[in-house]
Amino acid sequence: MSERGRLDLDTLRRLIDDGSIETVLTVLPDLYGRLMGKRIVGRYFLEEVAGHGMHACDYLYACDMEMDPTPGYRFTSWETGYGDMRVVPDFSTLRRAAWLERTAIVVCDTLEEDRDVPIAVAPRNILREQVERAGEAGFVPYLASELELFLFDESYGEARRKGYRDIETSQKYNEDYHVLSGGFAEPVIGAIRRCVDDSAIPVEFSKGEASAGQHEINLRYATAIEMADRHVMYKLAAKEIAAQQGRSVTFMAKWHTDYAGNSLHVHLSFQDLDGRSVFSADGDPAPGTRVQMSDTFRYAVGGMLAHARALSLLFAPNANSYKRYVEGTFAPTRIAWSYDNRTVGFRVVGHGAGLRVECRIPGGDANPYLVYAGLIAAALDGIEQRREPGPFFEGNGYLAADLPRVPGTLAEAVQEFAASDFVQSAFSPGVVEHLLHFARTELAASNRAVTDFERARFFERG
């Protein structure tokens, strides 16, 4: 598939020279999966940044959602002075940012300031380590993100002034597969599709989803780091395009008690180094399916099933994330694998070269670099340990009391992550410590917060 908008450095130089590009958005993903960085004048980017990189404060990997420096990290602190790190463009990510006027975008890697050593806690480097482990085992992971969002009639500023209460979704009824209501949202959703696709982020389709104002835009699959880059650039583009039209979108896992949550369904497959699927196989299909699956596929799924609870910290990174796991809402509450069954955490889809597993546990708020890293690590462990996944689950997963549950709270997920021998072996000690401190900081902030629910329930009657 062609990728309109992909640039190389020579083409960027020509476009800057003729005035077609003025600004290069030079970015890196933080622990939340947000893109941080600078808007750099095109000529300065060519003269200085392209060859030497730029600098950014290392607190970007040690702050919270409010950008407040968070104490307690070994990586950096007030005691170390919050120094600089080197930010180096990865020119394989260079493309037009078609949703912005005369702008290109490039995703960067981060290195220690005084030596060419990748910063281990950078999400892109966490994922790269797992991709390299897969390569050493003879595998190339391919992934795809299916991201859900809600579209609102208010701008971000208006929603903020309302305290995010009484904001209006773009439609007033369940939009799942509705072409009519999708047409009403097309000024925003269509613009997202077109601009993202024109930015070398191939789009497959959009569709209405299972709540009023909810939509899904599916991106074409790619190798792991490329797909994670596409994912975070798409989220940035979607928010900025909505804002340009005086609207807003949210990828919150659960923005409202009465509405379905926003999912991130992740499709995973492995190819060998020659580009052949290692998940499909010759022979008889699994009973009741068209699926001819290899031992490698079964073992990979076995690893993901075995470690899904431990990895929930990556799939559901904040307290709100766990409010999405409501029975009967297409968000899984049980950990099992199935053939084309949307009631459990892992769904087998496709056949032949397209055979893959869909992990339905992550929410729209998850950091894709960390989600992908966790899934790849679990799949590799399953293959190495020859973990059998057991038979396909059949039936309604919400009623299957004998199946293991997805953790119900962030506190439970922190405990599972911290206690997992698999986590300790799959990731370096520094990465494990960093991610746990990040999660515990998020948990402490949510535990301190007084909510609208508490005021409504106890202000008068408590």
Please write the tens of the pLDDT for every residue from 325-345: 998 888 999 999 999 889 999
b/e map of 222-246 (b: 16 or more CB within 10 Å)?
bebbbbbbbbbbbbbbbbebbeeee
CA distance 169 to 212: 6
With CA atoms as reference, report the closest residue to 440 among 419, 421, 412, 407.
Answer: 412
> Does 240 fall in a domain?
yes
Write down the pTM of the prediction: 0.96
Helix (H) / strand (E) containing 327: none
Same domain, 312 and 288: yes
What's 262's DSSP letter? P
What's 47's DSSP letter? I
> Does 298 fall in a domain?
yes
Strand 248-250 and strand 103-112: pairing?
Answer: unpaired
Same domain, 176 and 218: yes
> Does 122 fall in a domain?
no
Same domain, 143 and 113: no
Same domain, 113 and 162: no
> Sorting pLDDT into bands at 50, 70 and 90, what band is 179?
confident
Same domain, 230 and 351: yes
Helix (H) / strand (E) containing 131: helix 123-136
Same domain, 220 and 109: no
Phi and psi at residue 446, in whole multiples of 5°?
Answer: -70, -35
What number of H helices and E strands is found in the chain?
14, 15
> Does 53 fall in a domain?
yes
Same domain, 359 and 312: yes
Range of the domain at 368: 131-457
> Does 73 fall in a domain?
yes
CA distance 306 to 421: 12
pLDDT reported for residue 288: 65
User: What does pLDDT average to over the chain?
Assistant: 94
Cβ atoms of residues 103 and 22 within 8 Å: yes
Cβ atoms of residues 172 and 153 within 8 Å: no
Same domain, 86 and 141: no
> Does 123 fall in a domain?
no
pLDDT reported for residue 286: 72
* Digit-coded pLDDT (tens) for 120-169: 999 999 999 999 999 999 999 999 999 999 999 999 999 999 999 999 99
Same domain, 203 and 237: yes
Residue at which a domain ends, from 117, 144, 177:
117
CA distance 150 to 214: 4
Residue at which a domain ends, from 62, 86, 117:
117
Does residue 79 have a pLDDT over 70?
Answer: yes
Q: Residues of the chain with pLDDT > 90: what percent?
A: 85
Where residue 243 sits, what CATH number does that domain have? 3.30.590.10
Which tokens in the block code for residue 376? 């790849």
pLDDT reported for residue 397: 85
Length of the chain (residues) = 462
Which tokens in the block code for residue 7? 């640039």
> Does 106 fall in a domain?
yes
Q: Is 447 helix (H, G, I), strand (E, B) or coil?
A: helix
CA distance 313 to 416: 8
What's 125's DSSP letter? H
Question: What is the total count of domains within the chain?
Answer: 2
Which residues lie across from 316 on neighbouring strands? none
> Within 10 A of 390 (CB to CB), how many other CB atoms are there?
12
Where residue 59 sits, what CATH number does that domain have? 3.10.20.70
Same domain, 260 and 337: yes
Q: Residue 248 carries which side chain, given as an amino acid letter?
A: S
- Our measurement of the distance from residue 125's CA atom to the centroid of its chain's CA atoms, rounded to an integer in Å, reads 15
> Does 39 fall in a domain?
yes
> Within 10 A of 212 (CB to CB), how many other CB atoms are there?
21
Same domain, 82 and 161: no
* Digit-coded pLDDT (tens) for 419-455: 999 999 999 999 999 999 999 999 999 999 999 999 9
Does residue 1 have a pLDDT over 60?
Answer: no
Cβ atoms of residues 370 and 314 within 8 Å: yes
* Digit-coded pLDDT (tens) for 340-368: 889 999 999 988 889 999 999 999 999 99
Per DSSP (E only), the strands in 153-182 are none
Region 252-280 average pLDDT: 95
Q: Is 7 helix (H, G, I), strand (E, B) or coil?
A: coil
Same domain, 137 and 107: no
Residue at which a domain ends, from 84, 117, 150:
117
* Digit-coded pLDDT (tens) for 289-310: 778 899 999 999 999 999 999 9
